[in-house]
């Protein structure tokens, strides 16, 4: 029997929901690419429930208990005395989420001799040292596409929030004011602007499709160029690298995975090449941007706004400067964990586990590392190496909230 160690985020501060704002969520027939949704043999939850927090347990408790496996669920993931650290040496499988990641560093992998499978409940497995995973023969899998559209919707929301100065305007209402001049002194129309995405994979392409009706000029850069028919349909301009693209854009949205080639891509030099007063949106990974370079650019006016929901580490310490920098639209990492998305990634995790326990192949598109090398979606999106360095700083959030 296996020991499965699952790290999820905390329940709501007022307790696990007894009811929800909606009675159901729409049923999808498939993803835009034609890829099928997760296909587990069954699910033990109602779609639309809160599954990503500790009490939700990804809807896996009944399934795993029925097979006789040990299932440990915790939100205590950082530091030498954390539940995750204590339980990891005996774990066969680790399940984690990008929103509240259990960083599987090389040191932690070395402490877990029984570990064979690391599953990301969602997309983006950079919280795992992929190099160490390859060297130790781990399989790393994620639920590809499960929340890509969720994130793309969030990107459009953030772009409009920045350009139209929504958040400060909302705050004037909350504070009892009617300060129209203050609200509109930083408000512009998105129409006619040049908008570019760094990476045009599932999320980036979905962003382009959603922005096209706004009457903007679209741009992208990616190491895999889109088919000519797609470029024509979207009326989008390809750029060979991010540097050439950002020079012409009013808005840049980052939709690339984090790996050694993208780590700190948006540093002082890259941001300095952007138009003065442009906007930067990052729902990919916080470490793609240099933390302090973003702060400096907002303070100087080089950037008119920065928004996103990804930080490094996660959770970010309370004194992280992105919490207090000017003209930002930051939230916790929520873009890909809507209740709609949770139903898909929870079902996908169960599908992966069913395949693993039955000795059946995991879907190729779910694989990140397999048989000692990048595989499936991992071979397409990542480069070899490690991007977990510095993740131990996440313990400071835990210490600051005690």
* Adjacent-strand bridge partners of 6: 73, 95
Residue 286 backbone phi and psi in degrees, to 5: -60, -35
Concerning whether 314 is annotated as a catalytic residue, the answer is yes
Catalytic member of 333, 344, 350, 396: 333
In contact, 30 and 36? CB cutoff 8 Å = yes
Query: What backbone torsions phi and psi does residue 338 show, to the nearest 5 degrees?
Result: -60, 160
SS3 of residue 271 by DSSP: helix
333 a catalytic residue: yes
Q: Quick check: 216 and 241 in contact, CB under 8 A?
A: no
Q: Round to whole Å and give the CA distance between 150 and 72.
A: 28
Catalytic position from the list 285, 327, 328, 350: 285
Q: Which residues contact 228 (CB under 8 A, 6 or more apart)?
A: none
Q: Which entry of 97, 131, 147, 165 is annotated as an active-site residue? A: 147
Q: Where are the alpha helices (DSSP H) in 222-321?
A: 228-234, 242-246, 268-272, 291-300
Spatial contact of 155 and 207, defined as CB atoms under 8 Å apart: yes
Catalytic residue among 165, 314, 342, 344: 314
Q: Is the peptide bond before 313 cis (omega within 30 degrees of 0)?
A: yes
CB 135 within 8 A of CB 372: yes
CA distance 153 to 132: 34
Spatial contact of 260 and 287, defined as CB atoms under 8 Å apart: no
Q: What angle do CA 237, 240, 243 make, to 5 degrees?
A: 100
As annotated, the active-site residues are 147, 285, 314, 333
């Amino acid at each position: 029997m296996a020991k499965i160690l699952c790290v999820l985020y905390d329940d709501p501060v007022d307790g696990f929901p007894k009811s929800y704002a909606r009675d159901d969520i729409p049923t999808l027939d498939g993803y835009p690419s034609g890829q099928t949704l997760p296909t587990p043999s069954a699910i033990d939850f109602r779609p639309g429930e809160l599954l990503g927090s500790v009490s939700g347990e990804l809807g896996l408790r009944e399934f795993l208990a029925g097979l006789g496996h040990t299932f440990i669920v915790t939100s205590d993931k950082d530091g030498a005395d954390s539940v995750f650290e204590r339980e990891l040496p005996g774990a066969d499988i680790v399940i984690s989420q990008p929103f509240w990641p259990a960083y599987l560093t090389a040191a932690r992998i070395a402490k877990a001799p029984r570990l064979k499978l690391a599953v990301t409940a969602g997309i983006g497995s950079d919280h795992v040292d992929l190099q160490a995973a390859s060297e130790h023969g781990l399989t790393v899998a994620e639920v590809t596409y499960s929340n890509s559209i969720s994130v793309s919707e969030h990107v459009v929301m953030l772009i409009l929030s920045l350009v139209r100065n929504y958040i400060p305007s909302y705050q004037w209402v909350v504070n009892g004011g009617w300060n129209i001049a203050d609200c509109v002194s930083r408000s512009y129309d998105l129409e006619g602007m040049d908008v570019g995405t760094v990476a045009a994979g599932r999320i980036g392409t979905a962003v382009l499709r959603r922005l096209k009706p706004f009457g903007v000029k679209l741009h992208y850069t990616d190491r895999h160029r889109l088919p000519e028919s797609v470029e024509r349909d979207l009326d989008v301009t390809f750029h060979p690298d991010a540097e050439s693209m950002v020079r012409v854009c009013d808005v840049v949205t980052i939709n690339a995975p984090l790996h050694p080639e993208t780590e700190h891509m948006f540093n002082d030099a890259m941001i300095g090449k952007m138009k003065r007063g442009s906007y930067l949106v990052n729902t990919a990974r916080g470490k793609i941007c240099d933390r302090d370079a973003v702060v400096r650019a907002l303070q100087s006016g080089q950037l008119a706004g920065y928004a996103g929901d990804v930080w490094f580490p996660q959770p970010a310490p309370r004194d992280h400067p992105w919490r207090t920098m000017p003209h930002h639209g930051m939230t916790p990492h929520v873009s890909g964990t809507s209740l709609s998305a949770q139903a898909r990634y929870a079902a996908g995790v169960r599908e992966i586990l069913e395949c693993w326990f039955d000795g059946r192949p995991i879907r190729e598109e779910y694989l990140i590392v397999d048989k000692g090398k990048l595989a499936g979606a991992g071979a397409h999106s990542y480069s070899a190496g490690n991007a977990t360095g510095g993740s131990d700083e996440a313990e400071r959030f835990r210490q600051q909230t005690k």
